[in-house]
Amino acid sequence: MRAVCWHGKHDVRVDEVADPQIVSKGDVIVKVALTCICGSDLHLYNGYVPTMKKGDILGHEFVGEVVEAGSGVTRFHVGDRVIVPFPISCGVCWYCKHELWSLCDNSNPNSWMLEHLYGDTGGGIFGYSHMYGGFSGGQAEYVRVPFADVGLEKIPDGIPYEQVVLLTDICPTGYQAADNCNINPGDTVAVWGCGPVGLMAMMSARHLGAERVIGIDRFPDRLQMAHSQCQAEVLNYEEVDVAEALQNMTGGRGPDSCIDAVGLEAVGTGIEGIYDSVKQTLRLENDRASALRQLTKACRKGGTLSIVGVYSGFIDKFPMGAIFAKGLTLHAGQAHVHKYLPHLLKLVQEQQLNPSSIITHRLPLEEAPRGYKTFLNKQDACIKIVLNPQAQGAAATPGSEQASAG
Amino acid sequence: MDPSETERSQSREWRRETRVNVGPAERKASVIGGAALAVSGLRCISKRNYASGLAMMLAGGMFLYRGQTGHCGIYDAMGVDTVHTHNSALTIEKAVTIGLPPNEVYEFWRNLENLPRFMRHLESVQVTGARTSHWKAVGPGGISAEWDAEMMEDVPGQQISWHSVGEADVPNKGSVEFREAPGYRGTEVKVTIDYYPPGGGAGRAAAKLAQGINSQQLEEDLKRLKQILEVGEETTARRTVQ
Ligand SMILES: [Zn+2]
Ligand SMILES: [Zn+2]
């Protein structure tokens, strides 16, 4: 099959690789209909993740059709169209039973890699380095999906793949960010970063009853989208002092909740001191910590900081004093996708949520290398890229694919 | 505690970083074994085989360091001092919580032939009698070790302990305790293994330690045990059946 493989910094290629097989009886093989490039894939693309190997298949956001099922799979059959959550969860451990799905104890065979640094670590993730398990990802024609009965969600008839592909990560991640804010009537929620997750966080905050939503970014097209898609007021942090502007916009109180959807341009600084990239990473972290300091400063007393942007290592000058003095609550972590999927799917079905509205680019899988470049450089007003592994040039697309996608 | 004892323990604290606690023979062996491991670790990393590379570098680097300085952080942390006591053990202790009742976890462990299913360095454990068994371990590079073991304690649902008998390549003893975890969290499994490096420490022991019978390995072993018992099999990221 063809798959987008990592070969090094700024080097991804579409390679011919072996098809996946059923390895455990709880597996299914999914024929990928659509798959996205995620902002966090750029961390891999930029070479900041030390446990990537040449040839690793990328991608953790994908939907498609079950084409083979292991003997232990009971909920799914060949032909089912499915959503695949990006975190892999066993469904039986203490964390899974307590809806902390992304913290699954059993799905990451390499969890020891981060344990020295973190004390413990989360579950496996598709296509996201060996420290997150070393699972082959979804930017491919086919994927082996373990624990299928636990993770997958059937796509109801009549809902196109494009409407649900963002339910694999972006939507639940944004929704969890807002959910963690415990929004009350009259609340103002400020969101740093108007990329896909930030936009979804804003939509979710509205849905959960926020009175006002404020989006913060520096790219005009992203701010424009926050305004048009999420009815957000917007601030360009290159033009104003954000903390001061927020104070003035909220009668001097500050936003009730602040969401960090920026994400570090660095994952996997776990092995400090070994790689040159780490030094670079640390510089960037210091840079990004200024955003986190901004959140802390702007937030109203007793408010909530909700952190969904990926952080991975250490941070300088973390404003613990302000967090303490203002009595802030801090939430963080990977989304527990499984927990939110049914609700979000229902919202899509009822047309209360329209995730495909933020998709700006649709490319065949072959053009993934160009897609990564475009996304990295934020060229062409790029916000979200969706790849189609079944389209080898539009003419070659079988009609049945179109039918099942519609 | 008398004043001189207090003083001694304080000065021991202060000199912790520079104290020599590794005997001369073992220092030499550590340098040889450690350098080799560190180098092969680097080679793995350059081939982007990070997983094993990092483990080797960690282990190798530690041995290299203690060989050069006569000071071992691992030993220090464990309170092991091979300069002064030649028969002191290297103790590894790890715990894991498994979501099953203590007697079920005990039953699985009590069938010692199950151990190689999750203990990566064990090739086989053969039950040879009511309380005796034969253990075979292998490491990378074909280094192998064998020993006979005898069960000492066997308290159903609570504890099992064993020790090697006769001519063991690496004399060792171990115990595993099963305790009900609070709030229906299952069973707390605590494993303690003592190794007695031959002659206070040959290169062989250093190599073996770094290869598989270190605490990192035990940690991974226990995670595999948890996967097998909770999920039914070891979790794998493999894409194809090999
Ligand atoms: Zn993603
Ligand atoms: Zn789990």
> Taking the mean position of all CA atoms in its chain, how far away is CA B38?
19
Task: Give the model confidence (pLDDT) of A27-76 as tens digits.
Answer: 999 999 999 999 989 989 988 777 899 999 999 999 999 999 999 999 99
The winner for highest mean pLDDT among A69-73, A268-272, B192-196 is: A69-73
Q: Which residues on B lie below 8 Å from A7 (Cβ)?
A: none
Q: What does the pLDDT look like over B31-42, one tens digit per residue?
A: 333 333 433 333
**Residues of B with CB below 8 A from A106's CB?**
226-227, 230-231, 235
B122-177: pLDDT as tens digits: 899 999 999 999 999 886 667 777 889 999 999 999 999 999 998 877 788 999 99
Q: What is the pLDDT of residues A81-126, one digit of tens each?
A: 999 999 999 999 999 999 999 999 999 999 887 777 788 889 999 9
Q: Is B9 on the interface with A (CB under 8 A)?
A: no
Of A175-179, A293-297, A391-395, B15-19, least confident by mean pLDDT is B15-19
pLDDT band at B7 (very low <50, low <70, confident <90, very high): very low
Chain A residues inside the 8 Å CB shell of B54? 113, 271
Mean pLDDT of A24-29: 97
Rounded to 10°, the helix A337-349/A170-179 angle is: 100
How far apart are the CA of A272 and the nearest CA of chain B, in angstroms? 12
Q: Please give the pLDDT value at position B140.
A: 63
What's the pLDDT at A118? 80
Q: What is the per-residue DSSP string for A281-327?
A: HHHHHHHHHHHHHHHHHHSPTT-EEEE-S---S--TT--HHHHHHTT
Q: Which residue has the tokens 């952190």?
A: A307
Pairwise CA distance, residues B209 & B195, whole Å: 9
Flag if A109 and B49 touch (Cβ within 8 Å): no
Contact B240 A18 (CB under 8 A): yes
Candidates B97, B235, B237; nearest CB to A106: B235
Average pLDDT of span B205-220: 63
Prediction pTM value: 0.81
pLDDT category at A132 given cuts 50, 70, 90 is very high
The minimum CA-CA distance between A137 and chain B, rounded to whole Å, is 10
Distance from CA of B101 to the nearest CA of A (A): 13
| Residue B206's pLDDT band (cuts 50, 70, 90) | low
Return d(Cα A20, Cα A22) in angstroms, integer: 7
pLDDT at B208 > cutoff 60: no
Contact A112 B240 (CB under 8 A): no
CB A113 within 8 A of CB A128: no
Q: Which residues of B, range 203-222, sit inside 8 Å of A by Cβ?
A: 216, 219-220
pLDDT higher for A24 or A274?
Answer: A24
B8 CB neighbour count, 10 Å cutoff: 12
User: Which residues in chain A touch residue B50, judged by CB atoms under 8 angstroms apart?
Assistant: 50-51, 53, 113, 130
Measured in whole angstroms, the distance separating CA A207 from the mean position of its chain's CA atoms is 19
Band (pLDDT 50/70/90 cuts) for residue A265 is: low
Q: How far is the CA of B231 from the centre of ligand 2 (A)?
A: 9
Q: Which ligand is nearest to the CA of A62?
A: 1
Q: DSSP state, B83? A: T
- Residue B224 confidence (pLDDT) above 60: yes
Three-state SS string over A262-273 comes to CCCCCCCCCCCC
**Helix (H, G, I), strand (E, B), or coil: what is residue A212?**
strand
ipTM: 0.86
Cα A83–A87–A90 angle (5° rounding)?
A: 95
The residue among A378 and A4 whose pLDDT is bigger is: A4
| Predicted pLDDT of residue A56 | 97
Work out the number of other CB atoms within 10 angstroms of the CB of residue B16: 12
| Confidence (pLDDT) at A49 | 75
Q: What is the pLDDT of residue B116?
A: 95
Pairing of strands A304-307, A329-332: parallel
More confident of the two residues A170 and B217: A170
Q: Residue A114: its pLDDT value, please? A: 75
Q: Which residue has the higher pLDDT, A29 or B208?
A: A29
Contact B54 A107 (CB under 8 A): no
Assess whether pLDDT exceeds 90 at residue A371.
yes
Nearest CA in chain B to A128: B237
> What pLDDT is recorded for position B125?
95
Mean pLDDT over residues A125-150, rounded?
A: 96
Residue A11 has pLDDT above 90, yes or no: yes
pLDDT at B54: 39
Q: Indicate the residue of A112, A124, A136 with minimum beta-carbon distance to B216.
A: A112
If you ran DSSP here, which 8-state letter would residue A309 be given? S
Q: Does B231 touch chain A (CB under 8 A)?
A: yes
Task: Supply the pLDDT for residue B218.
Answer: 87
